[in-house]
Amino acid sequence: MTARTTRFLQQWLVFAGLVAVWELATRAARAPFFPPPSQIARAMYQQWLSGPASRLFLTDDVFDHVFPSIGRMLGGWAGATVVGVALGVLLGRSAVAMDFVGPLLAFGRAIPPPTLVPVFLVLFSLGTPMQLATIVFGTVWPIVLNTVDGVRAVDKVKVDTARAFRIQGPQWLFGVVLPSALPKIFAGLRVSLSLALILMVISELVGTTNGIGYQMIYAQRQFELPAMWSGIVLLGVLGYVFNTLLLAVERRALAWQPVGNHAQATGG
């Protein structure tokens, strides 16, 4: 058995052990707010995975609440990526422009995104447009700031090399600037992806009648604690899955980096 598999087993054994302890503790304590994991698992199964075989056992709930949530989250995040990278490249190539808007960016990032939810609520109609606006506004800052950093930090020798070979225009932008900035851009994308999940939940707590966040707050009001907990677990799983997927994409896109750097990239 390799050291890697040993470590893997070790990790999951500890994990399983902790879940078992939690199960025993919650059963013994009978605390109403903390249902045992087995009960949460059963609630999750009933809520999402007890559908007909023709639909891969997915229930209506998945189609009515989970998928719309994921769609809004990814949609908002994609929008923020397009806006953020474009803006970041423009600002990063011009020190003067950055002088003008740099402080504004720092300020914009510091605004807690939910404070603007009331504004988005009145400006956009209730539901998806307002939610998309919230997600885009909340997730765009790390992408812009990281892109600016990455674009600014293009290595001097590479700039000289490109100039010496008279590389200009699109080839300069897509062949030199963006690849140089890519590691930084990915760092920003990862931060904003986890923000997108948070903002998706926030926007659903406020202004919709569907989505994971809506279901959770509904379950809480009905005092269905297992259902509320299954929402928490589902969001944890989604966060983990999306982060892992993005890491996989990143490893692909940055396959040209020396091996040592990969360990660092995954370490954080």
The answer to whether 238 contacts another protein (rule: CB under 8 A) is yes
Give, as ranges, the residues between 30 and 69 that touch another protein (CB under 8 A). 33
Tell me the closest approach of the beta carbon of residue 54 to another protein, in angstroms: 31
The answer to whether 228 contacts another protein (rule: CB under 8 A) is yes
CB 136 within 8 A of CB 87: no
The answer to whether 163 contacts another protein (rule: CB under 8 A) is yes
Of 161, 209, 248, 249, the one binding another protein (CB under 8 A) is: 161
- Nearest-angstrom CA–CA distance, 57 and 80: 33
Tell me the closest approach of the beta carbon of residue 168 to another protein, in angstroms: 8
Give, as ranges, the residues between 7 and 36 that touch another protein (CB under 8 A). 7, 10-12, 14-15, 18, 33
Of 106, 153, 245, 248, the one binding another protein (CB under 8 A) is: 106
Tell me the closest approach of the beta carbon of residue 55 to another protein, in angstroms: 26
Give, as ranges, the residues between 242 and 261 that touch another protein (CB under 8 A). 243, 254, 256-258, 261
What are the contacts of 57-64 at 24+ separation with CB within 8 A? 61/215, 64/210
Other C-beta atoms closer than 10 Å to the C-beta of 86 total 13
Q: Which of 266, 260, 264 is nearest to 248 (CA)?
A: 266
Of 62 and 181, which CB lies nearer to another protein in the complex structure?
Answer: 181
Other C-beta atoms closer than 10 Å to the C-beta of 187 total 18
Exposure string (b/e) for 149-171, b if CB count within 10 Å is 16 or more?
bbbbebeeeeeeebeeeeeeeee
Pair of tokens at residue 5: 């598999």
Give, as ranges, the residues between 108 and 137 that touch another protein (CB under 8 A). 108-119, 121-123
- Nearest-angstrom CA–CA distance, 73 and 234: 14
Burial status of residue 181 (CB atoms within 10 A of its CB: 0-12, 13-18, 19 or more) = buried
Tell me the closest approach of the beta carbon of residue 6 to another protein, in angstroms: 9
Of 62, 89, 177, 182, the one binding another protein (CB under 8 A) is: 182
Of 52 and 146, which CB lies nearer to another protein in the complex structure?
Answer: 146
Burial status of residue 183 (CB atoms within 10 A of its CB: 0-12, 13-18, 19 or more) = middle
Pair of tokens at residue 148: 């600016």
Of 59 and 215, which CB lies nearer to another protein in the complex structure?
Answer: 215
Tell me the closest approach of the beta carbon of residue 25 to another protein, in angstroms: 15
Give, as ranges, the residues between 183 and 222 that touch another protein (CB under 8 A). 187, 190-191, 194, 197-198, 201-202, 205-206, 213, 216-217, 219-220
